[in-house]
Amino acid sequence: MTVHTNNDSIINVVAELTQSTAQSSVDDYGMLNFVVSTDHVVAVCQQLRDNHGFIFLTDLCGAHYPERKDSEFEVVYHLHNLVSNHRIRIRVYLSEESISIPTMVNVYPGANWMERETFDFYGIIFEGHPNLKRILNMDEMDYHPLRKQYALEDETRDDKNNTFFGR
């Protein structure tokens, strides 16, 4: 196994795997960030795991940005190389019309419940997941509660006293 611990070598690996379509940046904390397509995300993660030491999927989560046209949803993966203590973040943007992405369970078995949670709260479909069903909310729910389609407060309530909330 080749363990690359500097950002430039990881950028080159991801660029080669994605035919240079991946976008990369480094955040204020020095963490390397990538934006890759749904077509490349499994291959990128598998290559980083198998040949570059990123054996630990720290986190997988979703996000909803309704103001972003054609990329309203995103799936975020945090990978960790435990030997070199190198962390990277991979983002995949999804449109509301095409809200599915391949499962990562075959690459990182720990992704199983994280993908179920992301499906439960955002409605993102993980194609090929062995048991994609709600994990925290009731099965009868016909919506995904973390989508920003719902008001934060019930504007019809008249029993609220805003002075208790610093307003």
CATH number of the domain where residue 79 is located: 3.30.460.80
Read off the pLDDT of residues 62-115 as tens digits, 9 standing for 90 and up.
999 999 999 999 999 999 999 999 999 999 999 999 999 999 999 999 999 999
Q: Residue 47 CB: number of other CB atoms within 10 A? A: 17
Give domain status of residue 152, yes or no.
Answer: no
In a domain, 86, yes or no: yes
Q: Is the pTM of this model over 0.75?
A: yes
Residue at 164 is within a domain:
no
Q: In what order do the strands lie in the sheet with 73-81?
A: 23-26, 32-35, 86-94, 73-81, 56-64
Residues 6 or more apart whose Cβ sits within 8 Å of residue 17: 40, 43, 44, 47
Nearest to 32 by CA among 84, 72, 67, 74: 84
pLDDT tens, position by position, 10-35 = 999 999 999 999 999 998 888 999 99
What is the structure's pLDDT at 161?
74
> What does the mean pLDDT of the chain come to?
91
pLDDT computed for residue 5 by the predictor: 63
CA R_g for the chain: 19
pLDDT exceeds cutoff 60 at 157: yes
The residue segments making up the domain with residue 47 are 7-112
Q: Is residue 165 a part of any domain in this protein? A: no
Total tally of structural domains belonging to the chain? 1
CA-wise closest residue to 19 among 44, 1, 49, 2: 44
Domain presence at residue 94: yes
State the Cα–Cα distance between residues 133 and 150, nearest whole angstrom: 22
Distances (CA, A) of 1 to 24, 55, 82, 94: 23, 11, 14, 32
User: What pLDDT score does 3 carry?
Assistant: 55
